[in-house]
Amino acid sequence: MQVKLEWYEVAIAGFVGTLRRTESIRNNLNGQGKGGHQPDWKNEIDSVCAEIAVGKGLNIYWAGTVNTFKDPDLGEYIQVRQTPKSHLRLIVRPNDNEDHIYVLVTGTTEVLRCPVFEIKGWISGKAAKEVGEWMNPGGQDYAWFVDQKHLRPIYELQIRLIQEAAAKIQGQNKKAA
């Protein structure tokens, strides 16, 4: 699923990404970032763009939170992982929640127009740790690297979210009756 961001969504991503980065600096969390690499401003902004793209694509409210770390990026259990290159793998780390769902998004803001991000698919944390390759490229921290062939199609997550919303509404109606 491809999602094109509008200029104002990119502007919001720029603000939130910058705020996340300055908070990391303020709290002395500016050492090694995810995967052991030095985090930078662009990575933060691209990651926020990916979160906005998934929220837009799945019709889920995106809160734009800061300093929430392992909390879900969207909804109650959705984590978004972004990479600039369309062929790269989804990464799940040892301390990532196995009950969360991890969505891989590819794309970058390195374009001269509003960017298009591609939602590649999703996998549960538990499944990612079963099918992913345990490795530490470049001597970085170990993590599970999940090939895109193991990701479930995004429409399955859309169906799941609709079913959960319907069940929640039915439960509320039964309580009200």
Tracing tokens 């319907």 back to the chain, one arrives at 166
Closest CA to 108 of 88, 128, 136, 135: 88
* pLDDT surpassing 90 at residue 45: yes
- Give the pLDDT of residue 129: 97
Average pLDDT over residues 64-77: 92
For residues 109-132, give the mean pLDDT: 92
Please, which pLDDT band fits residue 36 given cuts at 50, 70 and 90? very low
Q: Which amino acid is at 58?
A: L
Q: What contacts 33, CB < 8 A, 6 or more positions away? A: 39, 43
Q: Give pLDDT, residue 30.
A: 61
Q: What is residue 108's predicted lDDT score, i.e. its pLDDT?
A: 87
Residue 47 Cα to chain centre, angstroms: 7
Percent of the chain with pLDDT over 70: 94
In this predicted structure, what is the pLDDT of residue 74?
97
* Spans of all domains in the chain: 2-152
Instruction: Determine the topology of domain 2-152 in CATH.
Output: ECO RV Endonuclease; Chain A (3.40.600)
DSSP assignment string, the chain: -EEEPPHHHHHHHHHHHHHHHHHHHHTT--SS-GGGSPP-HHHHHHHHHHHHHHHHHHT------SS-TTS-SBTTTEEEEEESSTTPPEEE-TTS-TTSEEEEEE--S-SSS--EEEEEEEEEHHHHHHHSEEE-GGG---EEEE-GGGSBPHHHHHHHHHHHHHHHHHHHHHHH-
